[in-house]
Structure 1
Amino acid sequence: MRHLSTNPYVKSVSTKGITYTEAFKQLFIISSQQGKLPRDIFEACGFDVQILGMTRIKAAAGRWRASYKEQGDLGLHDARGKHSGRPLKRELTLEEKNARLEAQIHLLQAENELLKKIRLAERGLEPRVKLTPSLRYRLIKAVIEKYHLQRMVSYLCESTGVSTSGYYRYWSASGIRVRTQKERVDEEISVHVRRAFQFKKRNKGARSIKMTLEGQFQIVWNLKRIRRIMKKYNIVCPHRKANPYKRMMKATHEHRAVPNLLQRNFKQSVPGKVLLTDITYLNYGKSKRAYLSTIKDSSTNEILAYHVSERMTMDLATNTLLHLQKNRRFKRSQDAFIHSDQGTHYTHPDFQEKVKRMGLGQSMSRRGNCWDNAPQESFFGHFKDEVSLKNCTTLDEVKREIKAYMTYYNHYRYQWNLKRMTPVQYRDHLLEAT
């Protein structure tokens, strides 16, 4: 480009092409009529044939000769589209311009209808719509069919920002066949995803579905595919929402009853060493309330014992200890202890005496700090999300529902942070490792 720009017969030069002066074109035509070859004419005017290449020289020569033959000297003028040697672009007729304007108006109306649906979806009044290229292709086809437009595909594709080739490829027989095949595969996958989602009648999120598919159905799919299928077929798992009225403030008071032996070291990879306990309330029926006390193995997340009562008495905590004693699967580890908050049930002398008789140590969270017993609080949160007690009318029905969930939780509920195992499987895994 630097070499060519110094030539007086070059008007401009860029990476895309060379624009020659009109004087050079006229000189070329005169010399060509005298019988000189294009190569000799270019070399005589200071052009390096090796740089230009014979293909470019022959193309320019043919274009100028044809233009001169058709229009004379006017054909050599460089008016960029009017009298140059390049093919002229046909002017659109008034009818064609009106047709294009009408097609664009119809397309804008269709887009406005689609945008209205998108706004309604954002407000939760319509299913969510995303303006993807495939949706634009369907929109263009619908506008063409509705208003009987002809030869408007390229123009409408350009107006919506999609390629014409993509439009024809989308509506080709092979494109429709591929989409139909993908739709059939997604339908088959959705059946398995729904089975895992409703396994044991407990709704699950994408990660739980993945682990259930692997553990129960021996099907291995990645999370992206599962999440895509859930979104496509509206398979929604309810999410726990934080209570805005509860402020998790870090307490500054030291323990007044028992020191904190745990110090949030929840995962010690030793089953039966760190036991967590707490009490929560359960609403059921019509304005009825029950109370649930549990003891959880912090290392394996297994629920070792639980007790349900209509009253929040001292027996609620002590009976849970009795159930732990009767659990034959529980094997107390060396230096095992039970951790709780500073509730009256756990600071009571009767509870502490029973803990000592069982050979366990005792640890307590800081006052008002639920993070010191976070795994237990997390279990209660998932429990209330996954158990439906609204249809229970009696305490016995509540107990049956809780018993079914505890079996499901310990033996069938896979957990991502337990190497995608259930609590019982992970317990056995840790015991084998030791």
Structure 2
Amino acid sequence: MVGGAFVKLVEELKGTMSIQLICEHLGIVRSTYYRWKNSQNKISRKIERDQTIGQLCSAHKFRYGYRKLAALFPDVCEKTVQRVMQKYNWSCRVKVKKRKRTGQPAHVAENQLNRAFRATAPFQKLTTDITYLPFGQSILYLSSIMDLYNGEIIAYTIGPSQDTAFVLDTLRQLEVPEGALLHSNQGSVYTSYEYQKVIKENGIIISMSRKGTPADNSPNETFHFSLKSEEFYTLERVHLTNAIVQQKIEDYMYYYNYIRPFQKLNCHSPIEYRTTAA
């Protein structure tokens, strides 16, 4: 009699007689029964663990590698999570690198942020940028503003062109307190007279990256890279309408702010982190 079948039989009969007596009748040493039972329990725990990891991979659309997922399982080592993901082909999809572009500045402000990307309070340091969305019937653009306190996207606009009115529409969604720092690259929309006039009238401190140095605004660069690679580059090549592209951006913004875990935020989402801190 195999161990699994014997353990199952004992579980069915132990209400009518002792485990010792069952083992004697079936000619099995009691210690052997407990060894088989422990083995079955280990197998059950492994199956449950694998199912939990699979559910988490599916919930995040297989966007993350084993290190980020392992952070959500404090009792499971990284190597175990890696082996499970490889076993069931749950590994992270390959991310496509973003094409970099530089601006042609006209009226440039100093780089007052100077890569000091940590903030101790909301609306203390903000970064903004524009990225292109070549996934629909025509190219769309996304303008976003990030709060460096928790990495939350606090305002964004989607449109068919990237002009000064486009970025000001994003900015006017917010009530930015006087003295807050707003960092951007040297794109023409940010160096325009109209944009800088609105910034200065509201008492906001202007900061700009150095020419051809996207790393000076890496938080926004990283966000746009994640949005494209996680929401679009993981799809099969299909033709999307602009309306579908905009809806997918809306869905991702909610996911990014409310659900997506960040290790630097103790595996909280940006909204969870801000709410907990408050």
Q: Same fold (TM over 0.5)?
A: yes
For CA contacts below 8 A with separation 6 or more, give which structure has more relative contact order. Answer: 2
Q: Aligned equivalents of 2:35 and 2:189: distance in 1? A: 68
Which of 246, 249, 254 pairs up with 1:402? 249
> Shift of residue 392 of structure 1?
6.1
- 1:195-210 matches, within 5 Å, as 195-199=55-59, 201=61, 203-210=63-70
> Shift of residue 185 of structure 1?
3.7
Q: Secondary structure at the match of 1:323?
A: coil
- 1:171-186 matches, within 5 Å, as 184-186=44-46
Q: Aligned equivalents of 2:152 and 2:101: distance in 1? A: 28
Q: Secondary structure at the match of 1:303?
A: strand
> Is it true that 1:338 corresponds to 2:182 in the alignment?
yes
Pair 308,246 (structure 1): closer, same or farther in 2 beyond 3 Å: closer
The answer to whether the 8 Å contact 1:355/1:362 transfers is: yes
Number of the residue aligned with 1:29:
none
Number of the residue aligned with 2:16:
none
Deviations 1:141-183 (A, max 9, x none): xxxxxxxxxxxxxxxxxxxxxxxxxxxxxxxxx9999887655
> Shift of residue 235 of structure 1?
0.8
The answer to whether the 8 Å contact 1:255/1:366 transfers is: no
Q: Aligned equivalents of 1:308 and 1:392: distance in 2? A: 19
Number of the residue aligned with 1:414:
261
Structure 1: which 5+ residue stretches go unaligned?
1-173, 249-253, 326-331
Number of the residue aligned with 1:301:
151
> Is it true that 1:424 corresponds to 2:271 in the alignment?
yes
The answer to whether the 8 Å contact 1:305/1:323 transfers is: yes
What TM-score does the superposition give when structure 1 sets the normalisation length? 0.50
- 1:12-23 matches, within 5 Å, as none
Pair 188,262 (structure 1): closer, same or farther in 2 beyond 3 Å: same
Number of the residue aligned with 2:29:
none
Number of the residue aligned with 1:373:
217
- 1:3-402 matches, within 5 Å, as 184-199=44-59, 201=61, 203-210=63-70, 213=72, 221-242=76-97, 257-285=108-136, 288-325=138-175, 332=176, 335-388=179-232, 391=238, 393-402=240-249
The answer to whether the 8 Å contact 1:355/1:361 transfers is: yes
The answer to whether the 8 Å contact 1:208/1:413 transfers is: no
Task: Give the letter aligned to residue 224 of structure 1.
Answer: K
Q: Secondary structure at the match of 1:294?
A: strand
Pair 200,247 (structure 1): closer, same or farther in 2 beyond 3 Å: closer
Q: Aligned equivalents of 1:315 and 1:184: distance in 2? A: 59
Pair 246,401 (structure 1): closer, same or farther in 2 beyond 3 Å: closer
Task: Give the letter aligned to residue 118 of structure 2.
Answer: K
Structure 2: which 5+ residue stretches go unaligned?
1-33
Pair 380,176 (structure 1): closer, same or farther in 2 beyond 3 Å: farther
Deviations 1:316-342 (A, max 9, x none): 2111112234xxxxxx45621110000
Task: Give the letter aligned to residue 193 of structure 2.
Answer: P
Q: Aligned equivalents of 1:392 and 1:314: distance in 2? A: 30
Q: Secondary structure at the match of 1:198?
A: helix
Q: Secondary structure at the match of 1:292?
A: strand
Q: Aligned equivalents of 2:259 and 2:241: distance in 1? A: 27
Q: Aligned equivalents of 1:223 and 1:209: distance in 2? A: 8
The answer to whether the 8 Å contact 2:108/2:191 transfers is: yes
The answer to whether the 8 Å contact 1:336/1:361 transfers is: yes
Q: Secondary structure at the match of 2:56?
A: helix
Percent identity of the aligned residues? 32
> Shift of residue 309 of structure 1?
0.8
The answer to whether the 8 Å contact 1:285/1:391 transfers is: no
Q: Secondary structure at the match of 2:225?
A: helix
> Shift of residue 246 of structure 1?
5.8
Q: Secondary structure at the match of 2:110?
A: coil
> Shift of residue 239 of structure 1?
3.4
Q: Which has the larger radius of gyration?
A: 1
> Shift of residue 242 of structure 1?
4.2
> Shift of residue 228 of structure 1?
2.2
Number of the residue aligned with 1:55:
none
Q: Secondary structure at the match of 1:270?
A: coil
Deviations 1:359-383 (A, max 9, x none): 3111001111111101111111111
Q: Aligned equivalents of 1:232 and 1:221: distance in 2? A: 16
Deviations 1:64-111 (A, max 9, x none): xxxxxxxxxxxxxxxxxxxxxxxxxxxxxxxxxxxxxxxxxxxxxxxx
Q: Aligned equivalents of 1:247 and 1:181: distance in 2? A: 56
Q: Aligned equivalents of 2:121 and 2:275: distance in 1? A: 11
